[in-house]
Amino acid sequence: MDKTTSSPWAISVAQLAQHAGQSKAIDIDFPAPSGIGDDIVGVREGDLIHMQANIDSIVDGLILNAHVSAPMHAVCTRCLKPLSNSKELDIVAFYPYDMKEIDESEGDLEIVAGEDEADDGNTYPLAAGGTVLDVETLLRDNLVESIPLKVLCKPDCKGLCSQCGVNLNENPDHHHDTSDDRWAILEDLKAQLEHKEETTK
């Protein structure tokens, strides 16, 4: 169907290109590109990303309006429990017919192009003489940006015991008897100091 070139992320737009006012709806599964996150949190390369989108041609390019659903894996920052859920993203991107024009109009801003692109939305070049819209970079950029810095299995995750590593969510009554470890010494010391304070008053 839409995959007319060797890239698994290519969408043929030959019928749309250069004809303002045309529109095309797509509903495709794409393999996740490499480089989205890591073992801790991210999208595994090759996992299927579902995209429902409309591509509309305007005078100087194509506008992609996409809803993306990607299987994201993560581990809880506090208790290390493996988690998986679906990352839902709405993406709007512009694929100009003449990328050069865009680059030139940005002039000396080009040095910060990476950051700039994130600010003014997504702009990507069309491939194969304007007949192919490739979403590999678009998927990677947008998913990488959406990766959370911190993931919790639940907002009040109790995490792991700092002394022995037991999961405190599963063992709510877990505690260490302080009389038989190093904390006891500190407890004693604290008690002595407190006592001293009391008596010196």
List of residues contacting Zn ion (CB under 5 A): 76, 78-79, 81, 153, 157, 161, 163-164, 166
Q: Which is nearer to Zn ion, 63 or 166 (CB)?
A: 166
Residue 182: phi and psi, rounded to 5, are: -60, -30
Q: Which is nearer to Zn ion, 52 or 171 (CB)?
A: 171
State which residue, 127 or 153, has the beta carbon closest to Zn ion. Answer: 153
Closest approach, Cβ 44 to Zn ion, in A, equals 21
C-alpha–C-alpha distance, residues 189 and 66, integer Å: 63
Closest separation in Å from C-beta 115 to Zn ion: 33
- Least separation, in Å, of the C-beta of 157 and Zn ion? 3
Of the pair 121, 165, the CB lying nearest Zn ion is at 165
Phi-psi map region of 119: left, alpha, beta (phi>0 left; psi -120 to 50 alpha): alpha
CB-nearer residue toward Zn ion: 32 or 76 = 76
> 147, 36 in Cβ contact below 8 A?
yes
Q: What is the DSSP string of 29-90?
A: EEEPPS-SB-SSEE--TT-EEEEEEEEEEETTEEEEEEEEEEEEEEE-TTT--EEEEEEEEE
Pairing of strands 48-58, 23-31: antiparallel
| Least gap, CB of 162 to Zn ion (angstroms) | 8
Closest CB 165 distance from Zn ion, rounded Å: 7
Beta-sheet pairing, 82-96 with 61-75: antiparallel
